Structure 1
Amino acid sequence: MLKFFKAIIFIMLMVLLVFGVSYLWKALPIISGYGAKNLCSCVYVANRLPESVIDKELGNFPFTLGSFEVDTSDSSAYGSVWGFAKIKAIYRKGIGCTLVSEISEEEVRGQDIHVPKHKVLQDSVLWPLGNAAVYKDSSMDLKAVNQVLDEAFEETDPEKPKNTRALVVVHHGKIVAEKYASGFQINTPQLGWSMTKSVTNALVGLLVKDGKLNIHDPAPLASWAGSDPRRKITLDHLLRMSSGLEWEEVYTGPSTATNMLFSKGNMGEYASSFPLVKQPDEEWYYSSGTSNIISMIVRDATGKDYYNFVHNRLLNKIGMTSAVIEPDASGTFVGSSYMYATPRDWAKFGLLYLNDGVWGEERILPDGWVEYSSTVTPTAKEGNYGAHFWTNADPEGRPGERYYPSAPTDMYSMNGFEGQRVFILPSQDMVIVRMGQNKRGNFDFDALLKGVLAAINE
């Protein structure tokens, strides 16, 4: 009997060892890829020092297991773990950094990607049309607003660092207050992470306006054609995170989401390969994969004009001169996660939606698109998601328990990993941008909103 139990224990230990080795082997490329990509982008796009990036972005477990370095000879960065899973990210001017994954570096560098130059804004012209900001607003207590901003930067709990890097408050179309952390200036582009999804929403809106896409038609993917059950999925389902596709949006280890972002050369193709596990519109499930499927659809719909379309029809049109959307190795913009822009430029994008898709005298987005984007998805029972924007409605059957109780129910937002936010408040004619690097729960967004709204004198 003793021999029997010893044999069982030995088998269990071997199974755990095999499982552990397998898990670790899957995790190593994720650690390497995350580090290489972020180091590359922060250095070459955001113009930060490598030492600062390695300390701040890569200074916590599990990234402390890795080794990361930049190579200025070819504008690249590398990541590896104990010498294994070495991954390279390369920088190309105008389009930022790309992980060399599944597609050779030679092929990636040989891609014919040319983005138009951004127009130069005048320092003497008032924001948002120029760079000048006049901090005057008789309808707000500006001293109180600035006190709220100071508190958002103040570190009061060493166990829960806020790490706020920028705050911009826009009221009645003008910047009324802004503040930046040491090492981050007005002109420092910052990564929006999943706020990029809302930019992907705008690109779809432009193509709807052009008559090239209909969100209620089956998503135009050849791999989903014919009798494929995924043929039932529409662009509306994808935008509302209700496609029913199998997906695992988990970032604590290897998952479909981390595998896509840090290992795959064609992210949209990878995400679109998964089967249906629910019927479309049956269940809401947040998925970065669906955003990259949409990004692939946008590229297919625009063809050879793809890069010009993204920049000239949207970014240049509203003066987002700092914006860089980075592509995967296939050349498709990573519409789920990889856009850099200054906080002021993120505020411009919020202002476009605050103004119902109109910029100046020109309608950029189709009539009704903003209302569609900010309307709660029926399957999102917490009342917190529209069409690639987060909403602030009350949860179903629980009035008053919304995520931001101090903000009005018509507020909607762009949310990104580690505390990136663009809050759009139509009833207050306001946009609030907050950029930072904090763990979930370390920053009190509701307190920020409550403080800024309390400063309105109207």
Structure 2
Amino acid sequence: MVRRYLLLAVLCHFFAGISARPSPVSRRGATCCSLPGLGDDFEAAEPEAVNLDPDIVNEALAYANTHGRLSVQIFRHNCRVGAGLLDPLTDGIPNNVWSSTKSVVSILTGIAADKGKLHVDDPIGDYLPSGPGWGDEAHRAITIRNLLSQSAGLDEAILAEAATLILDQSASQEALAQPLKYPPGTHFEYSQRVPDLLAFVVQQAVGEDLQDFAQANLFDPLGIPSDSYFWLRDRSGNTYGYALLFIPPTQFAKLGLLLQNNGSWNEQAVVSASWVESLAQSTPTNPCYGWLFWTNHGAPCTGANLPSAQTYQRHLIPSAPEDLFAMVGFLQQNNFIIPSLEMTVTWTGVLGDTELNLAALLSAAPAADLYYNFFRILMRAVKDVSIPDPGPWQVDPLELDINPWNYANPEVLLNDIAGNPECNIVFCNGAVPVEGLVENLRAIAETILGLLPI
């Protein structure tokens, strides 16, 4: 225990003096906190103790509170320095973090890679069952890297893919039923089925149920008990990769802090630092997208195809340091990680953007005024690093393409429910699958019981 605190003190002294790309203003020491164990609360500190201006931190929190945030927590040097008004009510309630689930699948892929169970450039056919219904040669040649970077080349329509919510017979086989629209690795297409397919591939690679693997290798080390969250499955019992992880804000924050600490939780390595570094880097097909994470590293920035895939000639969040990367979920369920500042912001809520741009209002744009204005305020609070003010938010060009074929293409839906000869909306692989429905009910009931004061 003494050794742990000595290590924290040394790290704190080091990180207090580094620059977030801008030039440092001072090198004063700062308070540093240890990460919580099972059942422990986050350690708290006053903003001044971590070189943040308290008044400006409160201004940033007020902005979040008035822009649809149901929970918000700000951490620096692992210390919680601010929380939202509603956090006491929402902290323990499981919330669908939507596409932030994709980022959890990325972390699990990294853990599997660290254990030698898979490699990013392996073709997925190495891990898929053989036989009818499990992809032709071209589909099986898609690599794990293609899945991580959303460049698998499969046809997609973001709402059509989600339309069969929890009634999917086998989400991975639905993905394999979609035709290849582009050669893998050549084009960014934000898909729901692609992370579902990756989740199945990882499960096959590790040789056990994905949720059992996640609990033992990710959630347990972070002190996230299995009855505090639930993660839905398709009818065959395979875990969804695109969304549907319901986790309380307090536990969700731990995922961001894990990444802030280079994949380690106190002294335990959970996922390698090299994987954390890789997932945050720009990918060739979309400079603001990494491995199922959004990143501030590069520009331009292309969003999801809702109502159309818009490309913006800017970084993800121009008001934040370029090393920021983020877990991003529909309606703005986010973990933002800024390694150079040792800062993590986590929040959940409902929308919050006000720009008159349909993609932004639907939270389908990579980022808009909500992120920009919040971080423009919060960066002014940083006292030990000089961060230039980029000025007021510049409204993105108005895009009028609302063609429903972009996001509700019926061909994609038909391929989901009937495109695989071995797996349709009723029968799948010779049976009527119900295992996933039973598991979903069990997990939801267990979580509800865990919330009851008994």
Matched residue of 1:421: which SS? strand
Does the C-alpha gap of structure 1 residues 227 and 312 become closer, same or farther in structure 2, counting only changes over 3 Å?
Answer: closer
- For 1:189 and 1:305, the matched residues in 2 are separated by 22
Contact in 2 for aligned 1:126/1:134 (Cα 8 Å): no
Alignment equivalent of 1:313, drawn from 198, 203, 217: 217
Give the equivalent residue in structure 2 for 1:55.
none
Q: CA deviation digits over 1:260-305, x for unaligned, max 9?
A: 4354122122112222121111111111111000111122223345
**Code of the aligned partner of 1:135:** A
Indicate if the aligned counterparts of 2:256 and 2:344 stay in contact, CA closer than 8 A: yes
1:131 aligns with 2:41: yes
Which of structures 1 and 2 has the larger relative contact order (alpha carbons within 8 angstroms, sep 6+)? 2
In the superposition, relative to structure 1, how do residues 175 and 386 fare at CA in structure 2: closer, same or farther (>3 Å)? same
Deviation at 1:244, TM superposition (A): 0.9
Which of 183, 201, 206 pairs up with 2:111? 206
Aligned residue pair count: 320
Q: 1:379 to 1:307 in 2, by over 3 A?
A: closer
Moved over 6 A (4+): 224-227, 397-400
Q: Distance in 2 between matches of 1:327 and 1:131?
A: 30
Partner residue, 1:409: 322
Counterpart pick for 2:58 among 133, 146, 158: 146
Counterpart among 252, 262, 281 of residue 185 in structure 2:
281
Shift of 1:400: 7.7
Equivalent of residue 229 in structure 2, options 323, 330, 334: 323
C-alpha distance in structure 2 between counterparts of 1:339 and 1:204, whole Å: 16
Q: Distance in 1 between matches of 2:253 and 2:76?
A: 11
Whichever residue aligns with residue 370 of structure 1, its letter is V
CA 1:306–1:384: 2 relative to 1, 3 Å: closer
Which structure 2 residue ranges, 5 or more long, are not aligned?
1-32, 302-310, 354-359, 362-368, 385-454
Q: How high is the sequence identity, in percent, across the aligned residues?
A: 28
- Aligned amino acid, residue 294 of structure 1: L
Shift of 1:232: 2.2
The aligned residue for residue 370 of structure 2 is 444
Match of 2:334 among 421, 436, 447: 421
Q: Secondary structure at the match of 2:70?
A: strand
Asked whether the 8 Å contact 2:71–2:87 carries over to 1, the reply is no
Change beyond 3 A, Cα 1:236–1:245: same
Q: Residue 90 of structure 2 contacts residue 249 of structure 2 at CA under 8 Å; is this kept in 1?
A: no
2:69 to 152, 164, 179: 164
Which one of 234, 245, 256 corresponds to residue 154 of structure 2? 245
Distance in 2 between the 1:145 and 1:182 partners? Answer: 16
Quick check: 1:455 aligned with 2:361? Answer: no
Q: 1:236 aligns with which of 113, 126, 145?
A: 145
Counterparts in 2 of 1:308 and 1:182: CA distance versus 1, 3 Å: closer
Of 336, 340, 343, 2:242 maps to 336
Tell me if the contact between 1:394 and 1:400 (Cα under 8 Å) persists in the aligned partners.
no
Give the number of the structure whose alpha-carbon radius of gyration is greater: 1
2:259 matched to 1:353?
A: yes
2:196 maps to a residue whose letter is N
In the TM superposition, residue 423 of structure 1 has moved relative to its aligned partner by 0.6
C-alpha distance in 2 between matches for 1:324 and 1:163? 24
Change in 2 beyond 3 A, CA 1:212/1:294: same
Match of 2:277 among 368, 371, 376: 371
- Counterpart pick for 1:388 among 272, 292, 308: 292
Q: Are residues 1:296 and 2:200 paired?
A: yes
User: Which of 154, 167, 170 is the equivalent residue of 1:266?
Assistant: 170
In the aligned structure 2, how far is the partner of 1:266 from the partner of 1:327? 9
Q: Secondary structure of 2:82's match? A: strand
Residue type of the partner of 1:221? L
Task: Determine the C-alpha separation between the residues in 2 that align with 1:386 and 1:289.
Answer: 17
The answer (yes or no) to whether the contact 1:320–1:341 under 8 Å persists in 2 is: no
Q: What is the 5 A alignment of 1:67-86? A: none
Aligned partner of residue 330 in structure 1, secondary structure: coil
Q: Name the SS for the 2:46 alignment partner.
A: coil
Shift in Å at residue 405 of structure 1?
A: 0.9
**Residue 233 of structure 1, CA deviation:** 0.7
C-alpha distance in 1 between matches for 2:154 and 2:271? 28
Aligned twin of 1:29: none
